[in-house]
């Protein structure tokens, strides 16, 4: 880990973890996400350390009688790590184990149960020194790595240049109807979903995004060149296809960036191009139909989020945002290239059991009251959000205890690309109640009550909660 931190590469645990993530079968990935949620990465790291500890114990035990097993065992672990730091770690490990187990000719004063040549004192001293050295090395690697991420984060704190058309209009107060959910999700509260264990280490000065493939003129933009292009600010709700009905993997932000349609027009998309296929600095990929980049929607390369430079967690230096599509087919963070190509190319999640096309399904969620909570009888507000990005929300209805559907009051319609908040006044009678919500979008479609799982293309069903009124 120390060698990895000093040479600025992923630690062996993260390197192995990354390959585990990429190779995890679909059912195990779903299980991990369902069990650990967004702590799945921490769980993976713990799992790797536990497996390593078990392997080390077995290797050490076997090496007491056959020292060769120690060398081979460490060799295998080093090779699995598949990096110079992990091989270095394996060499150090094998060397220490040899030292620990080396027999010393010693005087045995009387009958002893210890194996002949076993020097307990030396074992304890060497073992203790190794433990101290290893712990310190890990601590130093954490400091070095933390410093590097801090430095990277510091570069993301540049202020955004002023917009040519002046500041964008502020969000009307009427957009917010839910007492607990802000209309614009603050950056620090915005959900985060990705496959990386450590942030791609982009350099502000050498980073550039390429537009290539089936275009007349391939283009490359550095960070400064991108920021010098005409910019827009758009309020767009982003949602993960893994969002279960009523779940939290959805957020709304004001994105600042450059319209993709302008860049594609400049590059000249060739006939036959079917897919806008993007790749991130960490090698993650996704793609969506070319038509959606040219049908007038505000697909963009974003480098700002809610008035600040795009945070590292959300894709600094730049990412894609495409209204109306789930993130897994469109929202590449830490963007590296955009390639115009055919459907022959498959994005990261497609061979892993997810649909090729990922239009967002119309959904609604109850945020107040909280499911399972107790609330006092009398005047109450039922409130939440509804989204149908790039179609827009026309109506939200609530039903209590399976009664008739009652229309909720909708928040100001800011844009069809963002969620809409809603609220319903309720005279809550004492007892246990169920509250159910459904939205109708501007195409006239009303959410189906039929439950569909998140895979392969997004969950359906009505969010329903239970509350106790006392």
Q: Where along the sequence are the contacts to ligand MTE (CB under 6 A)?
A: 190-195, 238, 240, 280, 282, 284, 314, 327-328, 331-334
Distance of closest approach, residue 177 Cβ to ligand MTE, in angstroms: 23
Which CB atom, from 63 or from 253, has the smaller least distance to ligand MTE? 253
Q: Give the nearest residue (CB) to Mo ion.
A: 240
**Interacting residue with Mo ion among 17, 287, 315, 327 (CB under 5 A):** 327
190 binding Mo ion? (CB under 5 A): no
Which CB atom, from 277 or from 284, has the smaller least distance to ligand MTE? 284
Distance of closest approach, residue 194 Cβ to ligand MTE, in angstroms: 3
**Interacting residue with Mo ion among 62, 193, 219, 375 (CB under 5 A):** 193
Which of ligand MTE, Mo ion, none sits in contact with 282, Cβ below 5 to 8 A by type?
ligand MTE
Which CB atom, from 190 or from 303, has the smaller least distance to ligand MTE? 190
Distance of closest approach, residue 461 Cβ to ligand MTE, in angstroms: 19
C-alpha triplet 276, 280, 286: angle, nearest 5°: 40
Can you tell me the distance from the alpha carbon of 60 to that of 58, in angstroms, rounded to the nearest whole number? 5
Q: What share of the chain is helix, strand, coil (3-state, %, to 5)?
A: 35, 25, 40
Which CB atom, from 235 or from 332, has the smaller least distance to ligand MTE? 332
Which CB atom, from 2 or from 329, has the smaller least distance to ligand MTE? 329
Asked if residues 406 and 353 have their Cβ atoms less than 8 Å apart, the reply is: no
Which of ligand MTE, Mo ion, none sits in contact with 426, Cβ below 5 to 8 A by type?
none
Which of Mo ion, ligand MTE, none sits in contact with 314, Cβ below 5 to 8 A by type?
ligand MTE
Which of Mo ion, ligand MTE, none sits in contact with 238, Cβ below 5 to 8 A by type?
ligand MTE
Which of Mo ion, ligand MTE, none sits in contact with 126, Cβ below 5 to 8 A by type?
none
Asked if residues 80 and 73 have their Cβ atoms less than 8 Å apart, the reply is: no
Site string for Mo ion, 140-179 (x = CB under 5 A): ----------------------------------------
Subset of residues 234 to 253 that bind Mo ion, contact rule: CB under 5 A: 240
Asked if residues 32 and 195 have their Cβ atoms less than 8 Å apart, the reply is: no
Single out the residue of 90, 73, 82 nearest to residue 23, CA to CA. Answer: 82
Can you tell me the distance from the alpha carbon of 410 to that of 367, in angstroms, rounded to the nearest whole number? 14
Which CB atom, from 74 or from 249, has the smaller least distance to Mo ion? 249
Helices and strands in the chain, H and E counts: 11, 19
Asked if residues 405 and 424 have their Cβ atoms less than 8 Å apart, the reply is: no
CB atoms within 10 A of CB 16: 23
Which CB atom, from 74 or from 334, has the smaller least distance to ligand MTE? 334
Single out the residue of 361, 378, 384 nearest to residue 437, CA to CA. Answer: 384
Can you tell me the distance from the alpha carbon of 344 to that of 269, in angstroms, rounded to the nearest whole number? 17
In order, the DSSP letters of 32-74 are HHHHHGGGHHHHHHHHHHHHHHHHHHHHHHHHTT-HHHHHHHH
Distance of closest approach, residue 62 Cβ to Mo ion, in angstroms: 44
For residue 82, give both structure tokens.
């598949």
Residues of this chain that interact with Mo ion (CB under 5 A) are: 193, 240, 327-328
């Amino acid at each position: 880990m120390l060698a990895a931190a000093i040479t600025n590469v992923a630690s062996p645990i993260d390197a192995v973890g990354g390959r585990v993530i990429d190779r995890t079968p679909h059912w195990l990935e779903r299980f991990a996400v369902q069990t650990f949620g967004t702590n799945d990465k921490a769980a993976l790291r713990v799992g790797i350390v536990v497996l390593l500890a078990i392997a080390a114990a077995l290797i050490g035990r076997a090496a007491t009688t056959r020292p060769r097993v120690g060398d081979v065992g460490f060799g295998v672990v080093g090779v699995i790590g598949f990096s110079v730091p992990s091989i270095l770690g394996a060499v150090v490990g094998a060397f220490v184990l040899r030292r620990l187990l080396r027999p010393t000719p010693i005087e045995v004063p009387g009958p002893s149960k210890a194996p002949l040549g076993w020097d307990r004192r030396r074992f304890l001293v060497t073992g203790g020194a190794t433990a101290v050295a290893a712990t310190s090395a890990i601590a130093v690697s954490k400091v070095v790595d933390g410093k590097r991420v801090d430095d990277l984060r510091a570069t993301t704190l540049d202020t955004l240049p002023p917009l040519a058309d002046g500041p964008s209009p502020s969000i009307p107060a009427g957009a917010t109807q839910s007492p607990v959910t802000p209309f614009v999700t603050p950056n620090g509260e915005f959900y985060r979903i990705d496959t990386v264990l450590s942030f791609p280490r982009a350099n502000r000065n050498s980073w550039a995004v390429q537009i290539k493939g089936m275009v007349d003129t391939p283009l490359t933009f550095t960070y400064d060149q991108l920021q010098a292009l005409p910019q827009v600010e758009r309020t767009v709700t982003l949602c993960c296809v893994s969002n279960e009905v009523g779940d939290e993997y959805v957020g709304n932000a004001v994105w600042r960036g450059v319209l993709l349609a302008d860049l594609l027009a400049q590059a000249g998309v060739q006939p036959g191009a079917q897919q806008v296929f993007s790749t991130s600095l960490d090698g993650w990929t996704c793609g969506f139909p070319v038509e959606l980049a040219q049908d007038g929607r505000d697909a963009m390369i974003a480098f700002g989020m809610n008035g600040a430079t795009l945070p590292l967690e959300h894709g600094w230096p730049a990412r894609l945002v495409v209204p109306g599509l789930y993130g897994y087919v469109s929202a590449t963070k830490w963007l590296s290239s955009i390639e115009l190509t055919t459907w022959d190319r498959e994005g990261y999640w497609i061979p892993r059991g997810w649909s090729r096309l990922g239009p967002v399904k119309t959904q609604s969620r109850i945020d107040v009251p909280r499911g399972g909570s107790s609330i006092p009888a009398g005047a109450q507000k039922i409130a939440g959000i509804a989204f149908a990005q790039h179609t827009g929300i026309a109506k939200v209805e609530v039903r209590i205890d399976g009664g008739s559907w009652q229309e909720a009051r909708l928040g100001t319609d800011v844009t069809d690309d963002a969620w809409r908040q809603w609220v319903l006044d309720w005279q809550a009678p004492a007892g246990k109640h169920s509250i159910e919500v459904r939205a109708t979008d501007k195409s006239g479609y009303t959410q189906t009550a039929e439950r569909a799982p998140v895979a392969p293309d997004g969950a359906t069903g009505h969010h329903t909660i239970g509350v106790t009124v006392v």
